[in-house]
Amino acid sequence: MRQYEVVFILAPHLSEEEADAMALAMQRTAEKKGATFTKVDKWGKRRLAYNIEKQREGYYFLFAIDTNPDAINELERKFKQTDEVIRFMTVRTDLEQKALAKRLSLRQRDEAKKAEKRGTAQPSAETRDRESSGMSGGEE
Amino acid sequence: MPMGRRYAKDGPQTGKRTFGRRRKVCKFCVEKIDFIDYKDIKLIGSYVPERAKILPRRISGTCAPHQRELQKAIKRARHLALLPFVGE
C-alpha cells in the first residue's frame, strides 16, 4: 500500500455542482480499483497563477489516497481522457512521510543528547515538552 | 569602494573584518520546519519574488538541504498554477 496525494483542477465553466459531481465520479473510479480515500479536500474556485487552456480560474480538488499503483494509473488515465480536467498532479507521500519521521526522531535524539550535556535537571522537562507538542516539532 | 560594508561598532576584531550585516540563518532550521509543503503558498511564496524566480540561497540564507526541499515545493506549486513561472 502506498500513499498518494492527487491534486487536480477542473475547468471553471462548470457549475459548482457539476464540478463536485465530477470529482465524486473520479473518486468512485479509484475506489473501484481498491483505493481508500483518507482525505477529500475541496479548495473551491481559485485564481490560477497563469492561464491553463485559456482559463484564468479553476476548481481545485485534493485527494489523499491509500492504494496500490493500479488505482492511480486508472485515475490518471481518466484525468487525461476528461477534457474538463485542465491540470493534475500526483505525489507519492509515504516516502516523504518516512523521511520526515526519521528526521524528527534524529533531531529528538540530538536534542536529548544536547540537553544531557547541559545538565541533568533541565533536560527532562524539555524533552517532555517536546513530546507533548508532538509531530509539529515544537518550538522552544 | 567599500560597497555597503562597514566595521562593527567595536571595530575590526583580530585582523578579521566584521561586517555590519547580520549573519543570515536558514528560516526552516530556526523554525524547525522539516517538511516544506507545496500547498503552503504563504510560506513558499516568500521565496519567489516579483520575477517569479526562486530566491537564491545566497540571498535568503537557506541551508542547502532546505533549499532543495524548497525548490521541489516551488516547482510542484508551479505545476498546479499556485505560483507563476514568470512574473511581471
- Residues in chain B with CB shorter than 8 Å from the CB of A134 are none
Q: Mean pLDDT, to the nearest integer, of A15-34? A: 93
DSSP state of A27: H
Residue A96: what pLDDT? 87
DSSP for chain B reads ---S--B-TT--BTTB--BSSPPP--HHHHTT-----TT-HHHHHTTS-TT-PPPPHHHH---HHHHHHHHHHHHHHHHTTSS-SS--
What confidence tier does A137 reach under pLDDT thresholds 50, 70, 90?
Answer: very low
B84: nearest CB among A49, A87, A89: A49
pLDDT of amino acid A1: 87
Chain B interface, best mutation among A79, A89, A95, by max B CB count within 10 A: A89
What is the average pLDDT across A6-16? 95
pLDDT at B19: 61
Taking residue B14's Cβ as centre, other Cβ atoms within 10 Å add up to: 5
Q: Which H or E run includes A101?
A: helix A94-118
Tens digit of each residue's pLDDT (9 = 90 or more) over A57-110 = 999 999 999 999 999 999 999 999 999 999 999 999 998 888 888 888 988 898
Inter-chain CB proximity B81 and A52 less than 8 Å: yes
Cα separations in angstroms, A63 against A6, A76, B22, B36, B67: 5, 13, 43, 19, 27
What are the chain A neighbours of B65 within 8 Å (beta carbons)? Answer: none
Average pLDDT, chain A: 86
Secondary structure letter of residue A135 according to DSSP:
G
The reply to whether the predicted model has a pTM over 0.90 is no
Res B14: pLDDT: 54
Count CA within 13 A, CB hemisphere, residue A121. 0
Instruction: Say which of B34, B39, B76 has its CB closest to residue A100.
Output: B34
pLDDT of A6 strictly over 50:
yes
> Chain A residues with CB inside 8 Å of B31's CB?
139
Positions of chain B with pLDDT under 70: 1-19
Please tell me which residue of chain B has the smallest CA distance to A90.
B76
- Top pLDDT among A115 and A127 is at A115
Number of C-beta neighbours around residue A19 at 10 A:
23
CA dihedral sign, ordered B61, B62, B68, B73 = negative
ipTM of the prediction: 0.75
pLDDT above 90: residue A53:
yes
Q: Note the pLDDT of residue A37.
A: 94
Note the pLDDT of residue A135. Answer: 45
Facing residue for A89 by CB, picked from B80, B83, B86: B80
